[in-house]
Structure 1
């Protein structure tokens, strides 16, 4: 392509720009990176660097400039819509920069100088000999043939500068995924300047290698070796060349805010007020006088409020001993990282510089410690069949160990150098301990069984009720067979709401209640009992029957409601069963015995009342038959029928009186029973 120089009066800045390299990176477990750039800046120089576009929001809200000998004038960077802003108001569009012919054609009408002539651009076209440019001058049209390296100069310096900026923006827009950041400084001498900011970054991911001691019967001061490695990704857009790298573990609050993109505030639009149009109704002439109104008619019924609101209502419903074995010689890191702990966080600062090019992933060691450790069996699920193989470690360091996945290897004996499994390490504060399960031991078996018993501990009376305090014992039994193996067994037992455990525990936590026992090779049964106190009430009277004194046997079906009545089947048998299993020294037992005795008497009285009521009904039926016979007979037979009627009437009256007396005797006994207790 032929080259043509367009002089657009670019005003080159006299200030020196210094590209600041990355010197330090701190990666946070919150998915952020604190990046520090530093270098020497000359007098009156500015600082520049490039950052990914997606990090500009974070950079703008977190930038800190450290310049002890200078003054910060501010930060400049291209607009978020770089091309759109650069071409606003220009007669050019980005596609016009595809060729010089098209560019000059877009500038048609602008005044320019070329080939010794000056005039307004009329036309431009490519020929075999060069670019033919037509200029309109006061004396006519001049055609200039421009060859390789010839210059076209716009005489409007402001327009030339804007076209130059548009070309610069067009070049910058070709890499929309990053922005050039310029920080303007003012000072009278050279000095060191540092720039710090926080931006989003891939989460650094810790992982561990854990070398564990073998299972022993006596425990003791065994140790495990824990090595920590971190997977680090450089997605910052800049190379990290011999930087200081720190890895932070904590729970920092992290937010995003879009402050790079322009934000406009919507406003209500008011119409332009104009004079109202004049409206005239045409004259249609006179009309006849209207007729008189008709006779008054009744007003229509008004819709009720309920009817009017009905549709609306319807819508409304609508976490330094050597280790033996071949693997014990695992290489330590080149230099141990320094752990800097503060409130709620810990930073592992690598002792040696790290180099990671942009787009690369690195796995760097940050931890190598020996921790007190003990191999154990661990039961988490009481219903399982085999316990877990686990190791209990204690964080003897001075800082928190972050979450991570540990690959577990054996350190001694037959297990030396052997992969045993994976274990999850949850955040472990200094001095705290964790049990890490990495496999299941199928050589050790256990089964579980459950049982429960109840014992009355106290009896009391309250008007109409027998109150029982019951101690319920619930027990889980584990039958464990270690098959000759010896070691510590840890059992996590779930809590039971409202119950107190009656076995020894070493700790409590999210896991429930932790119980430990040393297995000596023989089969053993572990008992894990709980106790809870319950209050039971045994009603002596069915409240649904109302007051006993108001209950009339004549309007009440005794036989159908027999189980609801004191003395009927059910309550007496239950109280007798409770009395039979209550210990002789149980508080309130004598009161219960008295209630049982009273209920026994009530049964006798109720049976008597039932008998009298049945007798009455039999007598009443005989009376009805005699009355009917007296009405159906005549003559001497009628006299005999009337005599029998009189006899049946006396029998019915006597049976009714006996039934009343028997029912009232039962009622008095019921009232006396209900008045027992507080």
Structure 2
């Protein structure tokens, strides 16, 4: 493209001549970075620097300016949509800057001065000798040939300035991933100014190297060496040259808010109100008078009263009320008490002793910790169903600060394991003075197996109306047989909790892992028992409530044999109570009461068996009566007389059998009622 000087396009440099350098960075485990820029600033100078566009929201909400001798006038930066805002209201578009002919075509009609001629731009075209510009003057159309270095000047200074800003914004928009920040200050002398702000940053990621002592180490040798390294990425868009770097671990709340993005509030649209059209009815001429209406009786008093009452009601509805109450006129409800917020601080910062240099876009791995901690090599059982325990080390944080989450690479510290990779272990956040168990491998030499058993012991028996309440102490035991194959040391077992059960073994701690138990292994096979005990209540009903009240149960309408297991004295309940009684130890509260219930149930069985026999006798007699009745109906003469005699005998026998069954059933019912009335 040929060169042409346009006076209205201000060729401003987009470079920041005196950018405030980064002096310190604090990286947070919340995914944020606190960046401090500091440097010497002249009396009339502003603070300038660049920041990634994605960080501008955070910068605008967290910026702090430290200037002890000056005054802050404000912060300026380009709009989010640079080109859109710069070209708003201009006759130009960004694509018009692609060539000078398109630029002049977009400026048609604007007044300009070129080659000593002033007029309004009409047209422009490229020719061999240069650019031919056509201007409309008072005398007519004038063509000016512009060569390299010739100047075209817009006579409208305001338009020229806006076009210049549009060109500058267009240049800045090509680097849309960052923004130039300018903080305007006012002071009468040079001084040091610092700017602090918080922006999003990649997480710094701790990793550990853990050197562990050998199994069985004691005294001063029972120590582990823990080295912490941090992976740090510089994604700030600026170089970090010998900065002070701090690494913060904590649970700080972190939010984002789009305050750099223009936000417009939608508003309801109201229509433009216009005067109603004038309605005129046309004149249709005169018509004959209508005939008179017939006479009507006056309304009844009740109807008149209803009509008069309906009038104010209609008026109330027309005023905006309803039949239940009036709308409006009352005071608004008081708002609820304002909510309160509480915050607590828990953080640890690791400040590197030496300055750090990391260029923009680089990743570094820097050491931040090197401490010796009390340690003990142990075996650890997390899964009771596994075959081998875990190789682990128990460490205690004897430093003055908490250790953040991270992955530790475990090496041996001395002996045959010195410098040997043993495995990886996860370290969860560990406050100062707290301890953790870190598993890094599985010990295939040590084996164990486990089994479970459940036993019950009756602790108390109580008689209640209609049932026997039995309190049991249920023991649920897990037994672990472990063979250390000559090794000695500490075994830690994590036992899952059992809701409602109480452990009957010594626990050293409780946590998300459940209950923690420790045992010392002496090299020989041994069995470790881990019992739980829970209280269990069992209710043994003496009467099936689905049968209704015992006194109302009629044997004539009830199949005893089919419902035998539901009846007191039938099979099932008596045997169950006898089995429980056989397991009750002497001296157990309520054992005598249970024994008396068993005796009563045995008597009920005898009475029920007697009633069953009499019921069968009655059914036999009733069947004989039915046969005798049919025989009497089929006979005649002397045979009929004999059949009637037999019918009378059968009737008496059936009546006697029924009476015996009634008495046996009533005797059983009275015994059942007496049993059910025992207890409280």
Q: What are the within-5 Å matches in structure 2 for residues 202-601 of structure 1?
A: 202-216=202-216, 222-277=222-277, 343-601=345-603
Q: Distance in 1 between matches of 2:366 and 2:136?
A: 70
Aligned pairs, number: 622
Q: Distance in 1 between matches of 2:277 and 2:635?
A: 111
Q: Secondary structure at the match of 2:557?
A: coil
Q: Secondary structure at the match of 1:26?
A: strand
Q: Does 1:663 align with 2:665?
A: yes
Q: How far has the Cα of 1:482 moved from its partner?
A: 0.9
1:217 and 1:520 in contact (8 A); partners too: no
1:226 and 1:370 in contact (8 A); partners too: yes
Q: Which residue is 1:24 aligned to?
A: 24
Q: Distance in 2 between matches of 1:197 and 1:154?
A: 43
1:9 and 1:157 in contact (8 A); partners too: no
Q: What whole-Å deviation, never above 9, does each CA across 1:37-90 have from its counterpart, x for those lacking one?
A: 111111122111111111111111111111111111111111111101101111
Question: Which is worse superposed, 619-628 or 228-237?
Answer: 619-628
Q: Secondary structure at the match of 1:19?
A: coil
Q: Distance in 2 between matches of 1:124 and 1:576?
A: 118
Q: How far has the Cα of 1:343 moved from its partner?
A: 3.6
Q: Distance in 1 between matches of 2:11 and 2:70?
A: 25
Q: How far has the Cα of 1:125 moved from its partner?
A: 1.6
1:132 and 1:144 in contact (8 A); partners too: yes
Q: Distance in 2 between matches of 1:256 and 1:66?
A: 24
Q: What whole-Å deviation, never above 9, does each CA across 1:360-418 have from its counterpart, x for those lacking one?
A: 00001000000000100100000000100000000001110000000000011111111
Question: Which is worse superposed, 258-267 or 141-150?
Answer: 141-150
Q: Distance in 2 between matches of 1:19 and 1:609?
A: 110
Q: Distance in 1 between matches of 2:142 and 2:603?
A: 138
Q: Which residue is 1:603 aligned to?
A: 605
Q: Distance in 2 between matches of 1:60 and 1:507?
A: 48
Q: How far has the Cα of 1:101 moved from its partner?
A: 2.2
Q: Distance in 2 between matches of 1:648 and 1:375?
A: 95
Q: Does 1:654 align with 2:656?
A: yes
2:497 and 2:515 in contact (8 A); partners too: yes
Q: Which residue is 1:318 aligned to?
A: none
> RMSD value over aligned CA atoms?
2.0
Q: How far has the Cα of 1:231 moved from its partner?
A: 0.4
Taking structure 1 as reference, are residues 419 and 282 closer, same or farther at Cα in structure 2, changes over 3 Å only? farther
Q: How far has the Cα of 1:660 moved from its partner?
A: 0.6
Q: Distance in 1 between matches of 2:499 and 2:177?
A: 57
Q: How far has the Cα of 1:11 moved from its partner?
A: 11
Q: How far has the Cα of 1:583 moved from its partner?
A: 1.2
Q: Which residue is 1:338 aligned to?
A: none
Q: Secondary structure at the match of 2:556?
A: coil
Q: What are the within-5 Å matches in structure 2 for residues 92-241 of structure 1?
A: 92-216=92-216, 222-241=222-241
Taking structure 1 as reference, are residues 575 and 115 closer, same or farther at Cα in structure 2, changes over 3 Å only? same
1:218 and 1:487 in contact (8 A); partners too: no
Q: Secondary structure at the match of 1:369?
A: strand
Q: Distance in 2 between matches of 1:540 and 1:566?
A: 6
Taking structure 1 as reference, are residues 281 and 477 closer, same or farther at Cα in structure 2, changes over 3 Å only? farther
Q: How far has the Cα of 1:283 moved from its partner?
A: 11
Q: How far has the Cα of 1:256 moved from its partner?
A: 0.7
Q: How far has the Cα of 1:617 moved from its partner?
A: 1.4
2:617 to 615, 618, 625: 615
2:246 and 2:349 in contact (8 A); partners too: yes
Q: What are the within-5 Å matches in structure 2 for residues 629-648 of structure 1?
A: 629-648=631-650
Alignment TM-score, normalising by the size of structure 2: 0.89
2:568 and 2:605 in contact (8 A); partners too: yes
Q: Secondary structure at the match of 2:209?
A: strand
Q: Secondary structure at the match of 1:386?
A: coil
1:455 and 1:472 in contact (8 A); partners too: yes
Question: Which is worse superposed, 544-553 or 213-222?
Answer: 213-222
2:204 and 2:230 in contact (8 A); partners too: yes
Q: Secondary structure at the match of 2:152?
A: strand
2:12 and 2:168 in contact (8 A); partners too: no
1:17 and 1:45 in contact (8 A); partners too: no
Q: What are the within-5 Å matches in structure 2 for residues 32-111 of structure 1?
A: 32-111=32-111
Q: What whole-Å deviation, never above 9, does each CA across 1:329-381 have from its counterpart, x for those lacking one?
A: xxxxxxxxxxxxx9410000111111111100000100000000010010000
Q: How far has the Cα of 1:271 moved from its partner?
A: 2.4
Q: Distance in 1 between matches of 2:678 and 2:108?
A: 115
2:225 and 2:372 in contact (8 A); partners too: yes
Segments of 5+ residues of structure 2 without an aligned counterpart are 288-343
Q: How far has the Cα of 1:614 moved from its partner?
A: 1.2
Q: How far has the Cα of 1:105 moved from its partner?
A: 2.1
Q: Distance in 1 between matches of 2:220 and 2:246?
A: 36
Taking structure 1 as reference, are residues 120 and 217 closer, same or farther at Cα in structure 2, changes over 3 Å only? closer
Q: Which residue is 2:301 aligned to?
A: none
Q: Distance in 1 between matches of 2:11 and 2:241?
A: 35
Q: How far has the Cα of 1:284 moved from its partner?
A: 12
Q: How far has the Cα of 1:628 moved from its partner?
A: 1.8
Q: Secondary structure at the match of 1:171?
A: helix
Q: Secondary structure at the match of 1:554?
A: helix
Q: How far has the Cα of 1:275 moved from its partner?
A: 4.1
Q: Secondary structure at the match of 1:518?
A: strand
Q: What whole-Å deviation, never above 9, does each CA across 1:560-584 have from its counterpart, x for those lacking one?
A: 0000000000111111111112112
Q: Secondary structure at the match of 1:376?
A: strand
